[in-house]
Amino acid sequence: MENKIYGNEKLLSFFRNASGAGRLSHAYILEGGEGSGKKTLASFVARLINCKSLGERPCGVCESCRKISEGIDPDVKTVVAEKDKKQIGVDVMRDLRADVYISPNEEDCKVYIIPDAQNMNVQAQNVFLKTLEEPPANVYFLLLCSNIANMLPTVRSRAPSLKMQIFSESELRSHLLDIDPSLRSLDPSEFDMTVRLAGGRIGEALRLLGDSKKTSGETPRDKAESLVDLLIGKNDTASSLVFARKSVKGRDEGRDVLLYSIYALRDLVAAKKGGKGVTMLFYGDRQKAEALAENQTSARLVSVVSLFEEAYNGIQLNLNTDNLFTDLIVSVRKTAGI
Ligand SMILES: [Zn+2]
């Protein structure tokens, strides 16, 4: 799956045309949520730039294409934060600035891929800007980011930005079944929910489906259910805090737990509003949602949903996961009187 690109035809033909006409810009920003295929596309562009074929490019079989696909080409470099740091600091960008002037080893061009460009702090972006202002002729930069608002306007003005395609649910479903036909044997309601949760992103869907293979009780979905039980069902702030600290491991899992919790909580709002026609997205057992919602007002449930949505946005911005859950749970307690 690593090299196959689903959809995104407009972006592919844009890059093919620009490259064929010798009009490639030295830098591009590829914007899209996690799991939307930015890295796969960046690898495609790096192959397009360095492919040795005289026919269709990238050919996928020449030495350059092969090495880039395997991630072992010395002239296609990935730029990340220093170890144990979340932000890409100024030192990383100074090193990069020095590195761009060193000639390529094997290829005609060097390509630098920055997978989490939104994590460059302001000083780092300013140093990078100097590199962008006078890039060596054979150097290209691909800045991948989940939210372009985090990039300085000065950087954006020198790097055209392109958005990754968001798939419809039916497109996503068919791409997923193409990648992994064994998904046909998955419980259809679970498959449907994953497709919805993935928000049109293939990588995100595959990650969520990978989670669902974990032992029961350990998946982010199970953890979300427990958290909502403690927080809303039992109204137990202390146990919720302990649960979040002990059970939610790291930012990625935190994000998934928040995402599933949002769906669970929206089900409670729907259950509260009643009407037999309302479909539950999270709770297979509608009565469970109704029981949880029973002693809550709609107003409170709606505020709790927004608090979770805020926390979900916060976790995307790399805020500390433990603090984020603590603040969230404390804020939820404050809504108890609504
Ligand atoms: Zn090639």
> Ligand 1 centroid vs 54 CA: distance in angstroms?
9
Of 146, 49, 130, the closest CA to residue 96 belongs to 130
Q: Which fold has domain 214-337?
A: Zinc Finger, Delta Prime; domain 3 (1.20.272)
**The model's pTM:** 0.76
What does DSSP say about strands 161-163 and 139-145: parallel, antiparallel, or unpaired?
unpaired
CB 143 within 8 A of CB 110: no
* Whether CATH 3.40.50.300 fits 9-163: yes
Q: What would the pLDDT profile of 77-135 be if each residue is shown by its tens digit?
A: 999 999 888 899 999 999 999 999 999 999 999 999 999 999 999 999 999 999 999 89
> Ligand 1 centroid vs 71 CA: distance in angstroms?
14
> Ligand 1 centroid vs 42 CA: distance in angstroms?
15
CA 258/CA 311 separation, integer angstroms: 8
pLDDT at 190 over 90: no
Residue 1's pLDDT band (cuts 50, 70, 90): very low
> Ligand 1 centroid vs 107 CA: distance in angstroms?
11
Of 128, 148, 164, the closest CA to residue 42 belongs to 164
Domain boundaries, the chain: 9-163, 214-337
